[in-house]
Amino acid sequence: MYIIPLPFAENACHYFEAIRHLPLPLLLDSSRPASHFGRYDMAMAAPLAVITHKDGLTQVLQDGITRTTQSDAFELIGQLQQQLLQDLSVSELAADIPFTGGAAGLFGYDLGRSIETMPTLAKADIAVEDMCVGIYPWAVITDHELRTSYLVSQLDDPQTQALMQTLTQPSSVMTSAFALKGDFNSNMSAQEYADKFYRVIDYIHAGDCYQVCLAQRFSAAYAGNPWFAYQQLRKASPTPFSAYMETNEGALLSLSPERFLQVHQGRVETKPIKGTRPRGDTPELDKALYEELGASPKDRSENLMIVDLLRNDLSKHCQPFSVKVPDLFAIESYSNVHHLVTTVTGELASNEQILPLLKGAFPGGSITGAPKLRAMEIIEELEPHRRNGYTGSIGYLSSNGRMDTNICIRTLVTDSKGDDGGLIYCWAGGGLVADSDCESEYQETFDKVNNLLDGLRAL
């Protein structure tokens, strides 16, 4: 493994610009310095193999050859990582590096169909894969705490030196400006949202479930390149679990504030978000909204429901009695909203449990509801279109035994990755419980998404 210092890049886009022309480019972005929650940025491209899953079909692209397999998509990740990369889980040199080569990419919400038996009701009209994960032998890492940037590479010396030359030369690739060609349209009217809202309440009263996360989808035509849009949005909405990824079918622009699962030295952490208030226009109003969120019995109970679900998900894979809740009902403030956030932790018995943990907890309970499977069935019944990348996860599983993934909220998906334009999609939703108010829940979806939609309208 090579570790080669690079000039420190405060802006995560700097090194990603140099490699974005390579296959399957991926940026994991902490949005520093504007966001004060994250630490690392990671840029990678040109994986040794790519695992995709779409509509029940799993394929592997390796050495220019695509093969279809009946193997479990999650198990394939472990197999290919073991075949193609060194196991650095016992390396002292690798212990303090977040990513030393490994699997990284998209685990879309609809990948859950490969885990659970689900009805097929919602329309699937976005081509981006349900899963698109590369086995990456290198990454450029920026540590904002230590203010260092460096290349980590498992490639041989000539390949690593060629990569260094690419990273240290100015990018010659021009990106066309992004512009919407019309306004965003929702896939449900206010009345249709209300009808679906009361259907959820009926299910709750009938005992089917006690929380369901109902979302609406917005879409618009655009011209230009989504990478240009992402660079502008990260300035307007800096969040610690942001990501930008281009697959063969389109691009994902994730401005997410939520961690799904992190593993470091066997310690698991998840940080579900449940409970939201908009930021106030004045310091006094902002403080009042902050305090209202912290004191809200409804939001606290809604948060606690998902905490219990995630404690159960973690307990299936962690050591007995190791699952704890060290931080309950903390408030994190972002550019447009306050969020109620709880931290749940646990201890894995071994690194072999990382992939089973990810599969077993997927998709995250904070964006389904509880009980999870019944909530997902209701979502499938009521939401007109499949969620695609929205409320899935983007992140990495490193060859040194570390993992970090986000929840893809505040996430946009395009049906093109180039300069030709196409359609761009964005979602917003919230958890509905027995005492939810329809009007306020509907408004909350706009509070969550307006920062992104307004940012795109301004381009």
The residues carrying an active-site annotation are 258, 274
Name residues whose C-beta falls within 8 Å of residue 317's C-beta, 6 or more positions apart in sequence.
Answer: 268, 346, 348, 353, 356, 357, 360, 361
CA–CA distance, 362 with 112 (Å, rounded to integer): 7
Asked whether the beta carbons of 337 and 279 are under 8 A apart, the reply is yes
